[in-house]
Amino acid sequence: MPALDLVDLRSDTLTVPDAGMRAAMATAEVGDDVWGEDPTVRRLEQEMARLLGKEAAVFVPSGTMGNLACVAAQTRPGDEVIADAEAHLVAYEVGGTAIVAGVQLRALDCVDGIPDAGSIDAAVRDPDIHQPVTTLLSIENTHNRRGGAAIDAARIGAAAHAAHNRGLRVHCDGARLFNAAVALGVAPAELVVECDTVTVCVSKGLGAPVGSVVSGDTGTIESVRRWRKRLGGGMRQAGVIAAAGLYALEHNVARLAEDHANARVIADELDGCPGVTLRRPAVATNIVRFDTLAPAAELAARMSEQNVLVSTMGPHTLRCVTHLNVSAGGAQRAAGVVARVLST
């Protein structure tokens, strides 16, 4: 029997650059970006700022560095930052904000991914010499650990308004902001109007090999740029990778809808499986997250025997992520394999 094609649903970070993207990288005009002389990096920064309706942007090596630089630029050591308990900033960034920015995270449990105005208001500390000063709200869109939920402009507006009213700044970890915009059918700028800073990864579903872009007002971006240098993230002829990001923005945004449709095929197939609790957000994107009765690692191993790779997110939690290297046929086959393994 011929080997079945591999369907790799572990993450949308696994995408590899296609021929067109590689050609754009190979022919990119470059210079020393730390000196502000890389025209391709500048174009990527300007294009992202334009798409998000912001004054300025800065290209950073990773989403983690982007988030960290944004937190550091908008807080002082000893401050407190409010975020959802399941946020990437809380769960997956190795405590960087504590070590580097010297802030403490106040984690709120927000089942649908974003705190409402009342819980933000309640979480902001009173002026009191015993308490840390709350200076930043960080939100995530789409929300990875909340099942890839796309968060709409109304809920972001309500949260941001509550934060701003209490004098906080607002950061959006928009690693997959374009997934949210496509799923909600709105311009990405609409989702970040109320956010002071935004990190977007071009290295996830957009398909570029490396990089994220932080956008915001000119003064804050200047400070983020200084933090990038301090963190060792100043890159020289980075136009070679920025070209991939520009190519991704031009070619790989609208097609995210295909990833969402493919994820829906998998979610629909899982919905009726015995012992499976699907986390289905109001607006889903390219992530399917579900809890299982059987140990997740065992199930993932059985799926991988049939060339379908999924990731474990906990002892009884699995995640499937669709992306541009997963075809509709591949998603269909994976849905069948996943459902069969879960049903036997």
Q: What is the contact surface with ligand PLP in residues (CB under 6 A)?
A: 62-64, 67, 88, 140, 144, 173, 175, 201, 203-204, 212
- Write the single-letter amino acid at 240: V
Give CA 43 to chain center in angstroms. Answer: 22
Query: DSSP alpha helices (H): ranges in the chain?
Result: 19-26, 39-52, 63-73, 88-91, 96, 117-123, 153-165, 177-184, 188-192, 218-230, 239-251, 256-271, 296-304, 328-343
Q: Do 276 and 268 form a contact (C-beta atoms < 8 A)? A: no
- Looking at the Cβ atoms of 326 and 339, the one nearer to ligand PLP is 326
Q: What are the strands of the beta sheet with 276-278, ordered from one edge?
A: 276-278, 287-292, 317-321, 311-314
- Looking at the Cβ atoms of 94 and 282, the one nearer to ligand PLP is 94
- Looking at the Cβ atoms of 38 and 173, the one nearer to ligand PLP is 173
Give dist(CA 64, CA 225) in Å, integer.
14
Residue 257 burial by CB count (10 A; 0-12/13-18/19+): exposed, middle or buried? middle
- Looking at the Cβ atoms of 144 and 197, the one nearer to ligand PLP is 144
- Looking at the Cβ atoms of 142 and 292, the one nearer to ligand PLP is 142
Q: Compute the least distance from the CB of residue 210 to ligand PLP, in Å.
A: 8
- Looking at the Cβ atoms of 201 and 240, the one nearer to ligand PLP is 201
**How many beta carbons lie within 10 A of that of residue 246, not counting itself?**
23
**How many beta carbons lie within 10 A of that of residue 145, not counting itself?**
23
- Looking at the Cβ atoms of 28 and 321, the one nearer to ligand PLP is 321
How far, in Å, are 134, 177, 205, 265, 342 from residue 316 at the CA level?
35, 28, 25, 22, 12
Q: Compute the least distance from the CB of residue 316 to ligand PLP, in Å.
A: 21
Give dist(CA 275, CA 284) in Å, integer.
21
